[in-house]
Structure 1
Amino acid sequence: MSSNTIYQTPLSSRYASKEMAELFSPATRFSTWRQLWLWLAKAEKQLGLPISDEAISQMEAHLELTDEDFKVAAEEEARRRHDVMAHVHAYGQNAPAAAGIIHWGATSCYCTDNADLIFLKKGLDLLLPKLANVIKKLADFAIEYKDMATLGYTHYQAAQLTTVGKRACLWIQDLLFDLRNLTRARDDLGFRGVKGTTGTQASFLAIFEGDHDKVEELDRLVTEFAGFKYAYPITSQTYSRKIDADVISALSSFGATCQRIGSDIRHLAATKEIEEPFEKDQIGSSAMAYKRNPMRSERMCSLGRHLANLNKDALDTYAAQWFERTLDDSAIRRIDIPSSFLTADILLRILDNVVSGLVVYPAVINRRIRDELPFMATENFIMRLVALGGSRQDAHEKIRVLSHEASAVVKLQGKDNDLIERIKKDEFFKPIWGEIDALMDPSTFVGRAPQQVEKFVALEVAKALEPWKGTFSTEVSQLSV
């Protein structure tokens, strides 16, 4: 069948990076199973079991599957209804000298679970430098715009001024939390190792004729071959599905961060203060040719929502496991683990593309400040009048009346805010007429925002990014349609 006549997930067919899509491919999965069987055989041979050099050599020569191997495995699975045994059979055909010792003492979860832990680790290794690179680019943006005053919004209503760079730091700080969470999740990962059917290692104790030391050494050797620092000391037939929940929870939290950032950019695009990149020949709307829709940020919110909700699947799957294991975790994990990593990878590509080309419109930002600043500046006027000997209550009442008059002009007549002109014509404010423009300088309304940006980037961001300094790139992630 043509790929155009069957459903494919857009995560892999449309959006994901090549390296992440390959990590969760059938070729990678089943070649990893073969690698795990080879490690087991090598460790068992090293500990004295009768496994020939020829068996090891044949196994080593056939770690990668051919199209014929996939065909053999598919036919065997259709007959046996067991994917692991189908691939044991296919591998045995490639390595006949090893056919009798492949999977010796192991249960299916020896290859499936250990492979999944390898994929979790490699997946996080792919994501973390990409996340660090996005944070670095946003930090550079924050420094560039640390002094540029802009309207702050609370309740999506105009509030005290902040700066463009300070707002970017809100995004950066949340991404730093994600960097910390994903790093910890990766560093905490252990290996299932060699534990047998219910985690008791009984089959391996039988193989080694009751030698506990050899069983423990077998577990240690295979774990070392796989590149893990330790194996979980306690497992059932599977490693605890709480591990999946831990990793996916960190990824889901990152998905929520992407929704937050994407939503902010979409709102700023609506007010024409900041926009995501828009390509020369890009079409915003099939009907409205003038549109510049924030499609990247909308995609980020859409996929972020999907990723954030996968956390519930992982928690429910963990909670539903009975005793030493049940198989109701299998199908959903085949979907959710790749989906969570592919989605996170896609989100990082979108984030990188967006933050690499954010467009700031200072004239629009200044105009919006001018529209709102007169109201915000009135407290400064009152305080200055009091400092010159005036009555705070009288000043407050004057400001209240004039503000309501100016507000009515804006709301009912659609005209510009003329509060300052009214104040400059009112004799009550004559003592501060000469200071009004200085009291209206936007830079005096941003508090310590510029200093906060500088300190945050120099200390918190720099410290968090130190392990990733050698991975930074100025290249921009290119997005599919």
Structure 2
Amino acid sequence: MIPRYSRPAMRDLWSEQRKLEIWLQIELLAVEALANAGLVPRKDCEVLKSRASFDLERCKELERTLNHDVIAFTTCVAERVNDPASRWLHFGLTSSDILDTAFAVQLVQAADLLISDVKELLTAIAKRAREHRDTPCIGRSHGIHAEPISFGLKLALMYDEFSRALQRLENARKTVAVGKISGAVGTNAHLSPAIEAQVCRKLGLRPAPVSSQIVQRDVHAEFMLALALVAASVERWATEFRHLQRTEVLETEEFFAKGQKGSSAMPHKRNPITFERLTGLARVIRGHAITALENVSLWHERDISHSSAERIIFPDACALLDYMLVTLTNLMQNLLVYPENMRRNLDLSLGLWHSQAVMLALIRKGLTREQAYEIVQRVAMQTWEAKHAGRTDADFLSQLKQDAEVARYLDSKEIDRICSLKFHLRHVKTRFRKVGL
């Protein structure tokens, strides 16, 4: 991933240097397991442990001739060991024993970074949700005013979604924490399952119950799908806050730093560019998920059609999601919230968001649902007509109190009691408790 959309810790994890360090660790663990089983002289094992190293540039030089990255690596290590003990390097192994097991180590470490990111994001969301638990705003369905909610409740919904994101990443970490040291076609013909188990255990992995030349790619597809789902959650909330920053809405706003510029042509602009950036990056990860799914179908015990794609999509997706989560955390910590605009927007729909409460009150008075619906809809349409006519009684409560048919069932005091903001928000505290806020 380009540096613009990645952070140092995740970049380092997916660097060539780090990958080869893990390869060397696996090679030495395999030799150690063989020595423990009495299959390799202990002194040779100690020679390898003390001398084994590699030079990245030498590995690249060898690969240009050999056209095989693992053979280039083992050749480089053997050169630096410069001892007959080097014959035990890669003994009984196939390239994918190293590649897939190292890949699992990298994915687990990447998952740990992402899990930490989500936990920090949850802390930021929780703080803002508690701050605005009782801040009323309008709820919207189809982009149209529906009924009141609180801004804190909206953020509680966000908190709950990223709590699920955390669970997904934890589950994905568990799924992908699987290695294999089972040889060329997964039969353990040259290294026993006991050797495999010992190596995997020391790496914090479990051995695949059964494998071919590789760990099956549905495992990795599941991991990528988890990343894509978390990215989709980031996109969902980035989109929400982009809408809330529209000039005519302006209930929240992405913070605008001192000295920042919004447009090369229009000096007045303050755009939600960071939320927009997150929206775009989610699309990239979603595309990588398609590739991961296509990697599941390989020939027989293995081909390498998946390999070239994986070298791109997994480092990219992990780096992008890490960047996205940390960026969203910063946005939430610094989000500008305008309660007065929320109240203004509540008033734009003339109290019509009380319509369901009035309809249900009429049903309780004995009307059928159809009768109650027709009465309330008629009064609602009258309210809009009064608004368009510029009349002073252009609000839903006034129209209700003036309506003779409504008056047969509800008096003015009943209407006032039913049509209160407090009524709509009376269970917000309960919802907060249910999500752990």
- State the match for 2:259 in structure 1: 281
Q: 1:357 aligns with which of 325, 334, 341?
A: 334
Letter in 2 for 1:33: W
Q: Aligned to 2:34, which of 38, 41, 44?
A: 44
- Counterpart amino acid of residue 303 in structure 1: L
Q: State the partner residue of 2:292.
A: 314
Superposition pairs of residues 319-468 of structure 1, within 5 angstroms: 319=297, 321-377=298-354, 403-408=380-385, 410=387, 418-419=394-395, 423=399, 426=402, 432=411, 440-458=419-437
Among candidates 278, 283, 286, match of residue 305 of structure 1: 283
420-429 or 22-31, larger mean C-alpha shift: 420-429
Distance 1:416 1:153, change over 3 A: farther
Distance 1:58 1:147 in 2: 65
Query: Could you report, residue by residue, the CA deviation over 1:365-393 in whole angstroms, capped at 9, with x for unpaired residues?
Result: 00111112422235656777999999x99
Question: Once structures 1 and 2 are overlaid, which stretch shifts more, 287-296 or 439-448?
Answer: 439-448
Whether the 8 Å CA contact 2:401–2:411 is kept in 1: the answer is: no
Aligned pair in 2 of structure 1 residues 157, 107: CA closer, same or farther (>3 Å)?
A: same
1:109 and 1:417 map into 2 onto residues whose CA distance is 76
CA distance in 2, matches of 1:411, 1:258: 40
In structure 2, give the amino acid aligned to 1:444.
Answer: F
**Unaligned regions of 5+ residues in structure 2, if any?**
none
Is 1:249 the equivalent of 2:220? Answer: no
Q: Is the contact made by 1:55 and 1:95 (CA closer than 8 Å) also made in structure 2?
A: no
Tell me the equivalent position of 1:186.
173
Q: Return the match for 1:119 from 106, 111, 115.
A: 106
Moved more, 143-152 or 46-55: 46-55
The corresponding residue for 2:57 is: 71
Q: Mark the CA change 1:394 to 1:456 in structure 2 (over 3 Å): closer, same or farther.
A: closer
Matched, 1:137 2:124: yes
Root-mean-square deviation (Å)? 3.0
| Counterpart position of 1:103 | 90
Query: 1:29 Cα deviation (Å)?
Result: 0.6
Distance in 1, Cα, partners of 2:105 & 2:375: 70
- Cα pair 1:146 1:163 within 8 Å, conserved: yes
Letter in 2 for 1:135: L
Distance 2:168 2:364 in 1: 51
What one-letter code is carried by the residue in structure 2 that aligns with 1:288?
M
Closer/same/farther in 2, CA of residues 396 and 426 from structure 1, 3 Å limit: farther
* 1:451 shift after superposition: 2.3
Question: CA 1:52–1:72 in 2, change beyond 3 Å: closer, same or farther?
Answer: farther
Matched residues in 2 for 1:386 and 1:366: separation? 30
Gaps of 5+ in 1: 1-8, 205-214, 459-481
Kept in 1, the 8 Å contact 2:252–2:337? The answer is: yes
Q: Distance in 2 between matches of 1:276 and 1:417?
A: 37
CA distance in 1, matches of 2:100, 2:287: 23
Q: Would the aligned equivalents of 2:105 and 2:177 in 1 still touch at CA under 8 Å?
A: no
Q: CA deviation at 1:394?
A: 11
1:85 is matched with 71
Aligned to 1:265: 241
Match of 1:237 in 2: 213
Question: Which range moved further: 69-78 or 252-261?
Answer: 69-78
Q: Which amino acid aligns with 1:375?
A: L
> TM-score, normalised to structure 1's length?
0.81
Deviation at 1:16, TM superposition (A): 1.4
Deviation at 1:21, TM superposition (A): 0.6
The equivalent residue for 1:212 is: none
> Are residue 220 (structure 1) and residue 197 (structure 2) matched?
yes
Q: Point out the more displaced range, 278-287 or 112-121.
A: 278-287
**Matches of 1:162 and 1:87, distance apart in 2:** 60
Correspondence for 1:171 among 158, 181, 186: 158
> Separation in 1 of the partners of 2:188 and 2:262?
61
- Over 3 Å counting, the alpha-carbon distance change for 1:439 and 1:281 in structure 2 is farther
Instruction: Give 2:240's aligned amino acid.
Output: D
CA 299–411 in structure 1, closer or farther in 2 if over 3 Å, else same: farther
Aligned partner of 1:310: which letter?
A: H
**In the alignment, is the contact (CA less than 8 A) between 2:180 and 2:215 conserved in 1?**
no
Structure 2 letter corresponding to 1:336: I
Separation in 2, partners of 1:146, 1:190? 39
Aligned partners of 1:240, 1:122: CA distance in 2, in Å?
A: 20
Q: What residue identity is the alignment partner of 1:88?
A: T
The 10-residue stretch of structure 1 (277-286 or 321-330) with the greater mean CA deviation from structure 2: 277-286
Question: What does the per-residue CA deviation read over 1:131-172, in whole Å, with 9 as the maximum and x for residues that have no partner?
Answer: 122112212222221212110111111001111111112222
Specify whether residues 198 and 386 from structure 1 end up closer, same or farther in structure 2 by C-alpha distance, changes over 3 A only.
Answer: closer
- CA shift at 1:190, angstroms? 4.0
Question: What is the identity, as a one-letter code, of the residue corresponding to 1:218?
Answer: I
Q: Residues 205-253 of structure 1, C-alpha deviation per residue, up to 9 Å, x if partnerless?
A: xxxxxxxxxx23212221122122x211211111111110111111111
Aligned CA distance change for structure 1 residues 397 and 252 (closer, same or farther; 3 Å): closer
Query: Per the alignment, do residues 417 and 92 of structure 1 end up closer, same or farther by CA in structure 2, a change over 3 Å counting?
Result: farther
Post-superposition offset of 1:99: 2.6
Matches of 1:335 and 1:394 in 2, distance apart? 62
Number of residue-to-residue matches in the alignment: 431
Provide closer, same or farther for how the CA distance between residues 242 and 426 of structure 1 changes in structure 2, counting only shifts above 3 A: closer
2-structure distance, mates of 1:133, 1:244: 25
1:100 partner letter: R
Q: Distance in 2 between matches of 1:34 and 1:26?
A: 12
Residues 179-217 of structure 1: CA distance to partner in whole angstroms, max 9, x if unpaired? 11111121233433321111112233xxxxxxxxxx232
Cα separation, 1, equivalents of 2:232 and 2:268: 31
Alpha-carbon distance in 1 for matches of 2:67, 2:393: 75
Partner residue of 1:198 out of 177, 185, 199: 185
Distance 1:105 1:284, change over 3 A: same
Given candidates 7, 15, 19, the residue that maps to 1:29 is 19
Distance 1:409 1:278 in 2: 40
Please report how far the alpha carbon of residue 449 of structure 1 lies from its aligned counterpart in structure 2 after TM superposition.
2.5
Equivalent pair of 1:38/1:60 in contact (CA under 8 Å): no
Work out the CA distance in 2 between the residues paired with 1:242 and 1:397.
54
Q: Partners of 1:143 and 1:400 in 2: how far apart? A: 36
